Structure 1
Amino acid sequence: MTYSVVGIDHVQLAAPAGCEAEARRFFGEALGWEELPKPEPLRSRGGVWFRCGRHEVHIGVQSDFAPATKAHPAFAVQGLAELRAHLADCGIPTFDDDARKEEGVARFFANDPFGNRLEFLERK
């Protein structure tokens, strides 16, 4: 084989036009992710990009936006309980899911400001 997939570079989440301020509050302030500058040719499309660990999360504008309520990214976390408490302090609801507890995986779900489902998990 002459090629190799080495991993995920970024995940893109869709959002409605004018989403940037809410995205910055949620991903930048509440989650504490670093905002990344978008390349000049892409800036006119709207949206905003963030660094999440070694990866990137791109919030892209979609004209006929509908939130992803089943398909979702899962973010590996250290200090899951602390993150959950922090999100609660920020007024962001979280939802339990113990389906993988026997596997040693603690997790919860939250929605971004646009209704996209996000999973946060910690392997014990």
Structure 2
Amino acid sequence: MSVSFKGIDHIQLAAPENCETQARTFYGEIIGLMEIPKPENLRGRGGCWFQYGTQEIHVGVQKDFIPATKAHPGLLVEGLDDFRNTLLEKGIEIKEDTPINGRSRFFVSDPFGNRIEFLEYH
């Protein structure tokens, strides 16, 4: 088999039905990601998509939704301390965790209880 892995295209996060307004507020307005249109054939499923660098975050509706409190995306950023302060100013609770050598990091929960990690290499 000849295969070459190139990277991650997208991360799928689950959310409850009728999540779109809260997802747009959190991921678009608070976090600052750009919303991108879902393909026409998937729009009836609900949810919304956001661009993160060259990757995407897909917030999808799950009927029996349970938040991911352990599994999570780790989003690499520049200016982590400034970003932390911005989130605090917007009322987002920051959760610190055990440091990883060479990386600063913290966690937040999205409006649905999903864990999101932000990291910066130093």
TM-score past 0.5 threshold: yes
Structure 2 unpaired stretches of 5+: none
- The answer to whether the aligner puts 1:71 opposite 2:71 as a matched pair is yes
CA apart distance, 1:92: 0.7
Residue identity matched to 2:98: D
Structure 1 unpaired stretches of 5+: none
Residue identity matched to 1:30: I
Q: Which residue of structure 2 aligns with residue 85 of structure 1?
A: 85
Residue identity matched to 1:116: N
CA contact (8 A) 1:98 1:106 kept: no
Q: CA–CA distance in 2 between the matches of 1:90 and 1:53?
A: 22
CA apart distance, 1:121: 0.5
Q: CA–CA distance in 1 between the matches of 2:77 and 2:29?
A: 17
Q: Which residue of structure 2 aligns with residue 111 of structure 1?
A: 109
CA apart distance, 1:53: 1.1
Q: Which residue of structure 2 aligns with residue 122 of structure 1?
A: 120
Q: CA–CA distance in 2 between the matches of 1:123 and 1:26?
A: 24
- Structure 1 vs Structure 2 CA RMSD: 0.8
Q: CA–CA distance in 1 between the matches of 2:39 and 2:107?
A: 31
- The answer to whether the aligner puts 1:97 opposite 2:97 as a matched pair is yes
Q: Which residue of structure 1 aligns with residue 36 of structure 2?
A: 36
CA apart distance, 1:99: 2.7
Residue identity matched to 2:26: F
TM-score normalised over the length of structure 1: 0.95
CA apart distance, 1:98: 3.4
Q: Report sequence identity in percent.
A: 56
Q: C-alpha offsets along residues 26-48 of structure 1, whole Å, 9 cap, x if unaligned?
A: 00000110000000110000000
TM-score normalised over the length of structure 2: 0.97
CA contact (8 A) 1:13 1:60 kept: yes
Runs of 4+ in 1 over 4 A off after TM superposition: none
Give the aligned length: 122
